[in-house]
Amino acid sequence: MSIKKDDNWEPKILAFCCNWCTYTGADLAGLNRMKYPENVRTIRVPCSSRVNPQFILRAFQKGADGVLVCGCHPGDCHYATGNYFTRRRFMLMQRLLEYNGIDPKRFQAKWISGSEAAKFRDTVTEVSAQIKALGPNTKFVAPHYDNALQAKEGGAE
Amino acid sequence: MKQYAYYPGCSMDSTAVTYKKSFEYIASKIGLVMKEIPDWNCCGSTAAHTKNEKMAYALSARNIAIAEEELPGLDIVTPCASCYSRLKYASYVGKNDEAKRQEIEEVLRRSFKAEAEVLNFLDLFEDPEIQEAIKEKLHRNLEGLNVACYYGCLMSRPREITGETDPENPMKMDEIIELTGAKAIAWDYKTECCGASHQVDAPEHARELIDRIFRNAQANGADVIVTACPLCNMNLDMREAEINKNFGRKYNIPVFQFTELIAIAMGASAADCGIHQHFFPAFDVINEVVKTGAKKAAAEAKAEAKKDPLKDGPIVVGKAGR
Amino acid sequence: MARIGVFICHCGTNIAATVDVEKVAEAAKSMPGVAYARDYKYMCSEPGQAMIKEAIEEHNLDRIVIGSCSPRMHETTFRKMLKGTKINPYLLEIANLREQCAWVHTDKAKATEKAINLVQMAVAKVANNKPLTTSTIPITKRALVIGGGIAGIQAALDIADAGYDVTIVEKEPTIGGHMVMLDKTFPTMDCSACISTPKMVDAGAHPNITLKTSCEVEKVDGYIGNFEVTIKEKAKYVNHDLCTGCGLCQTKCPTKVTSEFNQGMSKRSAIYIPFAQAVPSKPVIDPQACLKLTKDKCGICEKICPIGAINYQDEVKYTTEQYGAIVVATGYELVDWKQMYPEYGGGKYEDVITGLQFERLVNASGPTEGHIVRPSDGKEPKDVVIVKCVGSRDPKKGKTYCSRACCMYSAKHAHQILDKIPNSRVYIFYMDVRTPGKGYEEFYDNTRKDGAQYIRGRVSKIYKEGSKLIVKGEDSLIGRPVTVEADMVILATAMEAAPGVEEVVSKLGISMDKDRWVQEAHPKLRPVETQSAGIFLCGTCQGPKDIPDTVSQAGAAASKVIGILNHDEMETSPMISHVDQTKCAGCGYCVECCPYKAISLVEVPGRDGNRKVTKTVAQVNEGLCQGCGCCTATCRTGCIDLRGFTNDQILKEVDALCL
Amino acid sequence: MAGLTEAQVQDRIREEAKKALASGEVSAVVGWTSTRFEDKTKPYFAETEAECDLLVWNKYCINGTGKFALDDRYPEKKIAIIARGCDSRALNRMLRDKQLKRENLYIIGVVCDGKENAVCEGCQHKNPLTYDVLIGEPVEEQMNAERFKEIEAFEKLTPDQRYEYWAKQYDKCIHCYACRNACPACNCVECYADQYRTGWQGKAADREQNQVYGLTRAFHVGDRCIECGECERVCPMNLPIMRQTKKMLKDINDLFGDYECGLPDDAMPVLGTYKLEDPDEFM
């Protein structure tokens, strides 16, 4: 959870990247010296189907302002069918989170292949801009008894 | 005998007079009742659907709508391939595309349920009941006459609309014509284009199309060509002489509507079928066939009479009369 | 408490330029569990690695975090380095400070803050790493090749030459496949039988190769190194051990049925050898044609067989054998053009033949001893039309793909006709001419110089007029319809997957694409492998191709197999799933989601209170699991976990990110 | 009640229960019995023929009987269950999850026309779907057009209103796990929430942990929920738990086609499989 909301507040965004496609794409973005905002931290997973929706809940609970799950395009999965499961899980997860009041922009999923370095940069830039506009995430986070913080923020959404 | 809603189309009273006469002769002989759709309108043929699809559908759909209202429960029959194609399209769209059906209803400002079946004359004459009725009324046997059945394009295509199983080699007309005793030969130009309206606007190209049809028919031993569509008939019949002259050919293959041959087989006279109204002389082929038929029939009758009933063994008498 | 060593690399200036490496090393010192932290110019260099090893000893470290370039670059390097130390190579995490931090940011302060965060996550994760050791599975040093065409023969020969046992399973009575039916082969025009029959004889005689003809794969169990394959041997009614192949029975057999080998253009007896150079050159009885087997009449062959090798009571036999690796080489079949193209006569005209039928006509051992004649009246054709892409590149009526070999064999046919029949004329209707190989374009040029007339356009209709075949098409270069009066028409029909390949593929648990071609693991990088470890493929079963490509793929598949069989055991990656069978409820949903079918439900003894019971729980096959982790997210209890990326590790990594 | 009155059904139940026990194959018959309050019944295990006479059948028999079959995962004898439509779906659920074996169950199906329970109005399965013997004439089923009306209404609120609503609800949760114990889809040997060492779920009963528990359970059960409403009925703090799981079911129906659980030939749960032509929003 970032400290306070002002202009140079930086959102904390967590990105689960599949090792064979998106992580490779991110490395390629580095190789080509592409530039994107600093507020994204990637966690490498063997396949996007490794990402358990409970990790997303944990991320929001611990104060992440945005979560991104990236993997290979359906059909290109290194493990053949992994991303078909990812697709179903996170379409349902996104709707459930939205239903519980979390702005859908805070949780996104994207297919980014090993060669789409530019798409990785654009996705990261776009998501961090969207989250910056939304401000810090106050839902699902921080024990509710910290009323002082709660009152001041007053549900910034 | 089943009744049908009848959509004559514009050519029956004009270029397809032989088709009309021979069909009416057959219908009267076998008691086939055709109820003409009241206030039917032009089906739009190729002109309409090249101009505006919605109008094309509406034109044919109106005929179907009237038939459904005035003659409920009757299948719609039409002789001409083009009318058949347009009506079949309208009914196919009405059955399968709900949005278009509603659109057509708005244009017609009347209900269009698109439930009635659309048949062409080949479907009609394929009906076993009608075939039985014709067989009973057959007088002459056209044995020895080699007939090339020419289907043209719209009778069998497109396959999804017409439901034809083998659009390259349709067999309906072949089976019907063999009722008359004539033999339907296998040839390769059954469904090749006759040039249709291009015989008028681009004759120098279109005549070739007719020449190749006659050449293949002749190469396969056809005495006559038989069609089931006014336009095919007219194109082939009207231009055979000209092709003989311009292309230096010696074709002597008269062109009939298949109903003409059936009518003749049922004993119709030349006037009943309007044989004299053909462009290419069709008399001698018919006379020759009719004569040989008659001669053969006479010989058979004599042989029948000569046969001594006793020679073939005792006649069993007294068994419970069956 | 863990004693973690953190080593931050400058990578020259790559990282140091935009990340304050000293500050990161300093910050690392205060992270939980970190006992030692420092930075250095080139961690992956020899001195760098030596420096780490020293630090491990000096500070008694038990886990390592390296802040450097992408783990995809040097993870293996640092793991090898740890092999030399007391630390298990898997107690190591790498923070990607170069590709995903230094190179992609400009603001040094923020980049440094992110670098610290990434190291924090790596430290949190490594604290939860467990020591992993690779396990091994035994390898049966035998290979199975399914399909006895040139692909299967070549693969089997290469594997056998490497000293391993190979079994070829072929469903026809002889090996040789389609290649042995051909007359000449492009581009060198050497005789197909002359180069394939020697290989067939080698395969038949090779000590390491066992031929199982008239056989099919019935059942396949097990996994890489330990396949258990049941092979069904159809009844041959001839005891091949006794039979010497003298051929007496063939000459006396009264029944005559169409010969499949000669593409229906000649007859064969009920007890038959498909063709002279068949391997094994011992006959089998065709149960549908044999009078004895159908109407219990005749029985001549039994009477005249000098050795009494005929046995009418022969039955189907099943044998089960162990194999370490399997090569699929099921080949292709030509499409049934008669269904697809009624406008070419639909089979009515005898003189409209396929390329394979022409190969039999022009073949010296064919039904006409190599004289090119019209099947209808046996006369020598003067004008021949060849129609290409019949069924290929035709999404509406046939297949969408190009069958690759027809352009070349059509040019070959044209060359052969012009060569063998004086003042003959050959017209070839084509859309494009594709000559994608060495010497192919020159071959095509020679054919045109021989006088073959290439007409660019498709054929719309073929029909018979008198004794001539009228071929109607168009020449799109001059934009006019064209008619050719031909004596014979050869159709270059499309290739499709061999009939029955669906059963083989489903029994092996591999997959097919929409055109029924066997699905390769990766079209560019792993063309001869399939998704299942230990199962390889080669030849036209993977897609249309010509003989040179088929033979090179066969060699490639053989080398992959040899690569496996060279080892007594195979090391399996330790980063695979593992089931905590005490918590597993046996719901089986993980079994369904595994792309490699590596998980199965097994009965294990367990306790329920004080009673002994058998529980059904999931179990991971270490040989098959590739470590994707899909099962871990499908399991609600979370009792199946992926080593190296356990739930615990990832949760701690998430927590570290958000402190 | 088509044909039979409540009393006649009750007699038939007792008769079937006695017959089952008499056969010696069944260890107990799970049904309902009366309590001190005439408008309440409680689940009851009849193990002797005499006890069978205590089995009752009236409009207050609302407890689910299906989940009791899971008490003994390795029974020596069969267990007989008096199963209404929802109970038979609960049994089908556990059978599909391979937690029960069909041969260990003797199902006495009873056609039900709704009990004093909120969830009964929209009931689409009054007839039991799987049974060994059936009491009563099967009635004609009606589709419940308003199956997701409540969800659709809730979706119309603004994100803040929705969050505040759920935050208040989850403040009440006391982590008693009654919902988990009553739910036939919650049939794991050891629930993730009890695995404190892996740290999926904290122990504190504060809003933060409750939200994670609520959503995780919704996600675990979402594609296997048989909509029997037991979780809501047993929750001591009256949390609207069904309102979460039904949201999942609504989305599944929208995204992947008609979907209902607890049917005899249950398809693979949605999250356990895939279709190539699934909609894709992540391009």
Residues on chain C touching D75 (C-beta within 8 angstroms): none
Q: Return the CATH number at C74.
A: 3.40.50
Instruction: Count Cβ neighbours within 10 Å for each residue of C209-229 and write b for 16 or more, e otherwise.
Output: bbbbbbbbbbebebbbbbbeb
Q: Is the domain of D153 the same as that of D268?
A: yes
The domain limits of chain A are 13-152
Query: Tokens 């695979």 appear where?
Result: C576
* Residue C161 Cα, gap to closest chain A Cα (Å): 33
- CATH match of B4-122 with 2.60.40.420: no
- In angstroms, rounded to a whole number, what is the distance separating the alpha carbons of residues C262 and D49? 80
Q: Is the domain of D126 the same as that of D203?
A: no
Q: Is the domain of C416 the same as that of C344?
A: yes
* Residue A151 Cα, gap to closest chain C Cα (Å): 22
User: Tell me, what's the pLDDT at B322?
Assistant: 38
A81 to C107: CB separation less than 8 angstroms, yes or no: no
Q: Which strand ranges, in their side-by-side order, compose the sheet holding B118-120? A: B34-36, B4-6, B76-78, B118-120
Q: Is the domain of C286 the same as that of C375?
A: no
Q: Are D12 and D131 spatial neighbours (Cβ–Cβ below 8 Å)?
A: no
D187 to C585: CB separation less than 8 angstroms, yes or no: yes
Q: Are D110 and D57 spatial neighbours (Cβ–Cβ below 8 Å)?
A: yes
Which residue(s) pair with C474 in the sheet?
Answer: C481
Confidence tier at C136 by pLDDT (50, 70, 90): confident
Residues 6 or more apart whose CB falls under 8 angstroms from that of C611 comprise: D74
Decide if pLDDT at B316 tops 60. Answer: no
- In angstroms, rounded to a whole number, what is the distance separating the alpha carbons of residues B12 and B7? 10
| Domain-terminating residue out of C474, C496, C518 | C496
Q: Is the domain of D114 the same as that of D160?
A: no
Q: What is the mean pLDDT of residues C548-556?
A: 96
- In angstroms, rounded to a whole number, what is the distance separating the alpha carbons of residues D221 and D188? 11
Nearest by CB: A99 against D155, D270, D281: D155
Per residue in C200-237, pLDDT (tens digit) is: 999 999 999 999 999 999 999 888 899 999 999 999 99
Q: Is the domain of C361 the same as that of C428?
A: yes
Q: What is the mean pLDDT of residues B39-45?
A: 91
Q: Is the domain of C474 the same as that of C361?
A: yes
- In angstroms, rounded to a whole number, what is the distance separating the alpha carbons of residues C466 and B219? 7
Interface test with A, best of C20, C76, C104 (most A CBs within 10 A): C104
Token pair of C442 as six digits: 């020159």
- Is residue C427 assigned to a domain? yes
Residues 6 or more apart whose CB falls under 8 angstroms from that of A84 comprise: A74, A77, D274, D275, D276, D278
D192 to C587: CB separation less than 8 angstroms, yes or no: no
Q: For residue B44, is it left (φ>0), alpha (ψ between -120 and 50) or beta?
A: left
D192 to C585: CB separation less than 8 angstroms, yes or no: no
Picking from C10-24, C329-343, C355-369, D2-16, which range would have the lowest pLDDT averaged per residue?
Answer: D2-16
Domain B140-293 class, CATH top level: alpha beta
Q: Is the domain of C465 the same as that of C344?
A: yes
Q: What is the mean pLDDT of residues C586-602?
A: 92
Per residue in C367-424, pLDDT (tens digit) is: 999 899 999 999 999 999 999 999 999 998 899 999 999 999 999 999 999 999 999 9
- Is residue D141 assigned to a domain? no
Chains touching chain C through at least 3 C-beta pairs below 8 angstroms are A, B, D
Q: What is the mean pLDDT of residues B93-121?
A: 91
User: Tell me, what's the pLDDT at B318?
Assistant: 46
Q: Does A58 touch chain D (CB under 8 A)?
A: yes
- In angstroms, rounded to a whole number, what is the distance separating the alpha carbons of residues C512 and C501? 9
Q: Return the CATH number at C427.
A: 3.50.50.60
Nearest by CB: D98 against C583, C586, C608: C586
Residues 6 or more apart whose CB falls under 8 angstroms from that of B12 comprise: B19, B20, B79, B80, B230
Measured CA to CA in angstroms, residue A144 lies from A153, C183, C548, D167, D207 at distances of: 12, 84, 72, 9, 6
Decide if pLDDT at A153 tops 90. Answer: no
Nearest by CB: A79 against C110, C111, C630: C630
CATH T-level fold of A13-152: Rossmann fold (3.40.50)
Q: What is the chain C residue with the closest CA to B170?
A: C342
Residues on chain A touching D268 (C-beta within 8 angstroms): none
Confidence tier at C539 by pLDDT (50, 70, 90): very high
Picking from B66-70, C61-65, C529-533, which range would have the lowest pLDDT averaged per residue?
Answer: C529-533
- Is residue D281 assigned to a domain? no
Cβ count near D39 (within 10 Å): 9
Q: What is the mean pLDDT of residues B143-151?
A: 92
**Which amino acid is it at C455?**
I
Q: Is the domain of C391 the same as that of C263?
A: no
Residues 6 or more apart whose CB falls under 8 angstroms from that of C493 comprise: C334, C335, C337, C354, C355, C390, C391, C406
* Residue C650 Cα, gap to closest chain D Cα (Å): 11
β-pair type (C284-285, C453-456): unpaired
Confidence tier at A146 by pLDDT (50, 70, 90): very low
Residues on chain C touching B168 (C-beta within 8 angstroms): 342-343, 346
Nearest by CB: C630 against A33, A53, A82: A82
Nearest by CB: D278 against A54, A88, A143: A88
Q: Is the domain of C122 the same as that of C148?
A: no
3-state secondary structure of B113: coil
Regarding chains B and C, contact by 3 or more CB pairs under 8 A is answered as yes
Q: What is the mean pLDDT of residues C450-454?
A: 94
- In angstroms, rounded to a whole number, what is the distance separating the alpha carbons of residues C263 and C359? 10
Chains touching chain A through at least 3 C-beta pairs below 8 angstroms are C, D
Q: Is the domain of C352 the same as that of C480?
A: yes
C587 to D271: CB separation less than 8 angstroms, yes or no: no
> DSSP per residue over B50-105, as a string?
HH-HHHHHHHHHHHHHHHHHHSTTPPEEESSHHHHHHHHHHHHHHHH-HHHHHHHH
Q: Does C396 touch chain B (CB under 8 A)?
A: no
Confidence tier at C595 by pLDDT (50, 70, 90): confident
C71 to A44: CB separation less than 8 angstroms, yes or no: yes
- Is residue C240 assigned to a domain? no
Nearest to C128 by CA among C65, C78, C68: C65
C114 to A36: CB separation less than 8 angstroms, yes or no: no
C461 to B216: CB separation less than 8 angstroms, yes or no: no
- In angstroms, rounded to a whole number, what is the distance separating the alpha carbons of residues D282 and A22? 13
Query: Tokens 């062409």 appear where?
Result: B120
Query: Tokens 């997973």 appear where?
Result: A45
User: Tell me, what's the pLDDT at A150?
Assistant: 44
Regarding chains A and C, contact by 3 or more CB pairs under 8 A is answered as yes
Q: Which domain holds residue C293?
A: 248-304
Per residue in C71-95, pLDDT (tens digit) is: 988 998 999 999 989 999 999 999 9
Residues on chain C touching D93 (C-beta within 8 angstroms): none
Decide if pLDDT at C617 tops 70. Answer: yes
Q: Are C126 and C93 spatial neighbours (Cβ–Cβ below 8 Å)?
A: yes
Nearest by CB: C595 against A1, A79, A121: A79
- What's the number of domains chain D is made of? 2
Q: What is the chain D residue with the closest CA to C640?
A: D192
- In angstroms, rounded to a whole number, what is the distance separating the alpha carbons of residues A45 and C121? 14
Decide if pLDDT at B148 tops 70. Answer: yes
Q: Are B118 and B91 spatial neighbours (Cβ–Cβ below 8 Å)?
A: yes
Q: Is the domain of D180 the same as that of D125?
A: no
Q: What is the chain C residue with the closest CA to A10?
A: C110
Q: Is the domain of C324 the same as that of C342?
A: no
| Domain-terminating residue out of D106, D135, D164 | D135
Decide if pLDDT at A15 tops 70. Answer: yes
Work out the burial of residue B4: count CB atoms within 10 Å of its CB; fewer than 13 is exposed, 13-18 middle, 19 or more buried: buried
Q: Does C100 touch chain A (CB under 8 A)?
A: yes
Strands (E) located in D98-140: 105-110, 133-135
For C236, half-sphere exposure in the C-beta direction (CA atoms, 13 angstrom radius) is: 25
Measured CA to CA in angstroms, residue D89 lies from D61, D84, D94 at distances of: 17, 9, 9
Q: Is the domain of C465 the same as that of C375?
A: yes
- In angstroms, rounded to a whole number, what is the distance separating the alpha carbons of residues A21 and A49? 13
* Residue C32 Cα, gap to closest chain D Cα (Å): 18
Q: For residue C543, is it left (φ>0), alpha (ψ between -120 and 50) or beta?
A: left
Interface test with A, best of D168, D212, D215, D217 (most A CBs within 10 A): D215
Decide if pLDDT at C282 tops 60. Answer: yes
Decide if pLDDT at A142 tops 70. Answer: no
Q: Is the domain of C159 the same as that of C202?
A: yes
Per residue in C225-275, pLDDT (tens digit) is: 999 999 999 999 999 999 998 888 999 999 999 999 999 899 999 999 999
Q: Are C628 and C593 spatial neighbours (Cβ–Cβ below 8 Å)?
A: no
- In angstroms, rounded to a whole number, what is the distance separating the alpha carbons of residues C92 and C81? 11
Chains touching chain B through at least 3 C-beta pairs below 8 angstroms are C
β-pair type (C226-233, C480-486): unpaired
Q: How many distinct helices (H) and strands (E) make up chain B?
A: 15, 8
Q: Which domain holds residue D41?
A: 11-135
Residues 6 or more apart whose CB falls under 8 angstroms from that of C484 comprise: C383, C385, C427, C470, C471, C473
Query: Tokens 């002109």 appear where?
Result: B47
Decide if pLDDT at C599 tops 50. Answer: yes
Picking from B244-258, D101-115, D201-215, which range would have the lowest pLDDT averaged per residue?
Answer: D201-215
Q: If residue C165 lies in a helix (H) or strand (E), which one and from where to where?
A: strand C165-170
Computed over every residue of chain C, the mean pLDDT equals 92
User: Tell me, what's the pLDDT at B122?
Assistant: 93
Per residue in A117-136, pLDDT (tens digit) is: 999 999 999 999 999 999 88
Confidence tier at B283 by pLDDT (50, 70, 90): confident
- In angstroms, rounded to a whole number, what is the distance separating the alpha carbons of residues D20 and D135? 14
Backbone torsions φ then ψ of C640, nearest 5 degrees: -105, 125
Confidence tier at B276 by pLDDT (50, 70, 90): confident
DSSP 8-class letter at C588: -
Residues on chain A touching D170 (C-beta within 8 angstroms): none
Q: What is the mean pLDDT of residues C37-56?
A: 93
Interface test with A, best of C531, C654, C659 (most A CBs within 10 A): C654
Give rounded-to-5 percent helix, strand, coil for chain B.
Answer: 55, 10, 40
Backbone torsions φ then ψ of C655, nearest 5 degrees: -60, -45
Q: Are C106 and A34 spatial neighbours (Cβ–Cβ below 8 Å)?
A: no
* Residue A101 Cα, gap to closest chain D Cα (Å): 4
User: Tell me, what's the pLDDT at B312?
Assistant: 52
C461 to B188: CB separation less than 8 angstroms, yes or no: yes
- What's the number of domains chain C is made of? 5
Decide if pLDDT at A143 tops 70. Answer: no
Q: What is the chain D residue with the closest CA to A98?
A: D159
Cβ count near B314 (within 10 Å): 6
Decide if pLDDT at B111 tops 80. Answer: yes
- Is residue C134 assigned to a domain? no
Q: What is the chain A residue with the closest CA to C631?
A: A50
Query: Tokens 């994107």 appear where?
Result: A36
| Domain-terminating residue out of D76, D102, D135 | D135
Q: Is the domain of D48 the same as that of D105?
A: yes
Residues on chain B touching C346 (C-beta within 8 angstroms): 168-169
- Contacts A–C by Cβ distance under 8 A: 125
Q: What is the chain C residue with the closest CA to A47?
A: C628
C586 to D192: CB separation less than 8 angstroms, yes or no: no
- Is residue C653 assigned to a domain? no
Residues 6 or more apart whose CB falls under 8 angstroms from that of C173 comprise: C213, C214, C236, C272, C273, C274, C278, C283, C284
Confidence tier at A157 by pLDDT (50, 70, 90): very low
Work out the angle between the directed axes of helices B17-30 and B230-247 (0-180°, nearest 10): 130
3-state secondary structure of C359: helix
The domain limits of chain B are 4-122, 140-293
Interface of C with B in 515-554 (CB under 8 A): none
Nearest to A54 by CA among C592, D195, C625: D195
User: Tell me, what's the pLDDT at D83?
Assistant: 95
Backbone torsions φ then ψ of B312, nearest 5 degrees: -85, 25
DSSP 8-class letter at B229: S
Q: Is the domain of C121 the same as that of C12?
A: yes
Backbone torsions φ then ψ of B246, nearest 5 degrees: -70, -35
> DSSP per residue over C258-317, as a string?
E-TTTTTSSEE-SEE-SSTT-SS---EE-TTT-HHHHHS---HHHHH-TT--B-TT---E
Specify the higher pLDDT residue, D25 or D266: D25
Residues on chain C touching D189 (C-beta within 8 angstroms): 583-585, 637
**Cα-based angle C160, C162, C166 (whole degrees, multiple of 5):** 25
User: Tell me, what's the pLDDT at C427?
Assistant: 96
**Residue C280: is the preceding peptide bond cis (ω within 30°)?**
yes
3-state secondary structure of C145: strand
Confidence tier at A75 by pLDDT (50, 70, 90): confident
ipTM of the complex: 0.64
Q: Does C461 touch chain B (CB under 8 A)?
A: yes
Interface test with C, best of B156, B157, B160, B168 (most C CBs within 10 A): B168
Q: Is the domain of D83 the same as that of D156?
A: no
Nearest by CB: D99 against C587, C593, C639: C587
| Domain-terminating residue out of D135, D169, D202 | D135
Q: Does A115 touch chain D (CB under 8 A)?
A: no
